[in-house]
Structure 1
Amino acid sequence: MKIFLLGGTKDSINIIKFIKKNYDAFILTTTTTEYGAKLAKEGGSDDIIARPLPKEEIINIITNEKFDILIDATHPFASHITQTSTSIAKELKIPYLRFERPITNLKNINTSNIIYANSFVDAGKIISNEFNQSNVLHFAGANTMEDVLKNVSTEKFYPRIVKVKSSIEKCKKLDINPNHIIPMTGAASKEENIELIEKYDAGIIITKESGEIGGVLDKIEAANIKNIKIIMIQRPQIKEINKKDIVSNLEELDNKIKNFF
């Protein structure tokens, strides 16, 4: 079985390890960064492409190398990639699965400090209107900084990012103080988040609704302990996905693969 995996997330690494353990499979993983590619290789992926791929190139690779299934395990906020992957699967009539991490269960969590927003531009506007004297911890990745900074001063902006070349270049382009950049090596614990809030005297956090695997609960709990607000960007809704093609855990993924083959 040949699997074309759109990766770059912790979910995708778990998928690689699971499939290599349970199936006789060749996996090609695509990521947009060298860091993501390194993790995929360590996870056991047979081949890796570490750059964004245009639609036509993905089609050519799947067709020419005769892949059997397309699995999209990209981040819940990478909606454009998921839209592209669904259209490719339909065009090529190839089995398709979208691995979508569950939305964070907040049933027993104090949510009084959460402010929901639909976009990062909206998050910046909320901060400009209501928290313009506060230092901002940005826990939502380098690609979302520019939208926030349309309304927020870089003087009060502290992004936590993976320190790879592309992210550092984005910070330079946006004139972010290098001393404000917080190196990231994975999801932070509650205690680490508290330390960052205290170190940078933060009054507000920005995060994505990226699920428990993305450390959302630890961010909320840290904000609650320090009694500061957290702006949570809600996930985009992708209309192109058929619900029957979505799985949210490895057991569901396993059942779908067995049904396909």
Structure 2
Amino acid sequence: MRVIVMAGTADARRIIGKLSERGVEVTATATTDYGAELAGISGASETVSRPLTEKELCELIEEKGAGVLVDATHPFAVRATWNALKACHETGAVYVRFERPPVDAGEVIRVGTFREAAELASSLLDDGEVVMHLAGVSTLPEVTGVLGPERVAVRVLPYTPSIEACRKLGVPGRNIIAMQGTFSVELNRALLRDYGAGAVITKDSGETGGLKEKVRAANELGIPVILVERPSVDLEGEAVFSDPEDLVEYVEGVLSSLKGDGP
């Protein structure tokens, strides 16, 4: 029986790899061609490279005869998680969530939204300083809308749509850092120093998102870090794991049970 893994994160790639090593057929979904390519390299036998609505997820589950859907999307991908939950409830597929464990990152200022983060950052910058935005391109409009694109340096994946999104928002080319991480404390520190960052905006992406390294680098330089907290999703009653190995063992058990219920 096939498993669908909603991917696009390093955690998802590890889960795909572990499932495929155990002979489980995996169809991976990702919102970009780049994410789908990485999922395929990790061991997925099929990939879908576009965002899927609830209806499209239902159709995919039914088309593949998938008994389990693993939601390993980013902690901030709330809409994707809601679509996955609804699709599983509609089709009867078993929903399993991988949740990145929280980490004690260091000295940060916690806020609830990126607009709050940008408004706070604007009060912290001295003349000539920029905000280093380390939270992905999808959250950038809220920040540039408050600060203006000239006052933001942003690190994004080396993926053409991400770079184009930055340019459409007016971010100068010199302020676009296209790199694939995660990154060491030393590299984070060098970028913050060389770009003249007066504040950092990032999000609670957990250890696999490189949060500790970002915060430590900024703390060492005395640069304030504004951390946008994770949005909450009610997953009461659902299977939620923070260890990939535990999740894979649970999925194997579910698949075994589902096969046992067959004719």
Q: TM-score range by the shorter chain?
A: over 0.9
Map of 2:241 onto structure 1? 247
Question: Does structure 1 conserve the Cα–Cα contact (< 8 Å) formed by 2:150 and 2:170?
Answer: no
Map of 1:98 onto structure 2? 97
Question: Does structure 2 conserve the Cα–Cα contact (< 8 Å) formed by 1:117 and 1:231?
Answer: yes
Cα offsets for 1:132-167 (capped at 9, x unmatched)? 643111110000000111211222210000132221
**Percent identity among equivalent residues?**
33
Question: Does structure 1 conserve the Cα–Cα contact (< 8 Å) formed by 2:57 and 2:83?
Answer: no
Rounded Cα–Cα distance in structure 1 between residues aligned with 2:224 and 2:123: 14
> If the length of structure 2 is used for normalisation, what is the TM-score?
0.92
Q: CA RMSD in A?
A: 1.4
Residue 92 of structure 1, CA deviation: 1.0
Question: Does structure 2 conserve the Cα–Cα contact (< 8 Å) formed by 1:104 and 1:210?
Answer: no
Cα offsets for 1:56-107 (capped at 9, x unmatched)? 111112112211111100000001110111111111111110101101134x
Unaligned runs of 5+ in 2: 257-263
Rounded Cα–Cα distance in structure 2 between residues aligned with 1:71 and 1:259: 14
Rounded Cα–Cα distance in structure 1 between residues aligned with 2:230 and 2:212: 16
Stretches (4+) displaced over 6 A: none
Rounded Cα–Cα distance in structure 2 between residues aligned with 1:234 and 1:169: 27
1:120 paired to 2:120: no
SS in 1 for 2:147: coil
Residues 62-77 of structure 1: pairs in structure 2 closer than 5 A: 62-77=61-76
Map of 2:86 onto structure 1? 87
Map of 2:221 onto structure 1? 226
Map of 2:41 onto structure 1? 42
Rounded Cα–Cα distance in structure 1 between residues aligned with 2:244 and 2:87: 23
Cα offsets for 1:32-56 (capped at 9, x unmatched)? 1121112111111101111111221
Rounded Cα–Cα distance in structure 1 between residues aligned with 2:19 and 2:93: 18
SS in 2 for 1:147: helix
Query: Between Structure 1 and Structure 2, how many residues are aligned?
Result: 254
Rounded Cα–Cα distance in structure 2 between residues aligned with 1:167 and 1:34: 12
SS in 1 for 2:104: coil
SS in 2 for 1:151: helix
Rounded Cα–Cα distance in structure 2 between residues aligned with 1:136 and 1:243: 40
Map of 1:8 onto structure 2? 8
Map of 1:167 onto structure 2? 162
Amino acid in the other structure paired with 2:84: S
Rounded Cα–Cα distance in structure 1 between residues aligned with 2:150 and 2:248: 48
Map of 2:261 onto structure 1? none
Rounded Cα–Cα distance in structure 2 between residues aligned with 1:96 and 1:152: 40
Map of 2:259 onto structure 1? none
Unaligned runs of 5+ in 1: none
Cα offsets for 1:171-202 (capped at 9, x unmatched)? 12211111110012121110000110111011
Question: Does structure 2 conserve the Cα–Cα contact (< 8 Å) formed by 1:97 and 1:246?
Answer: yes
Residue 244 of structure 1, CA deviation: 4.1
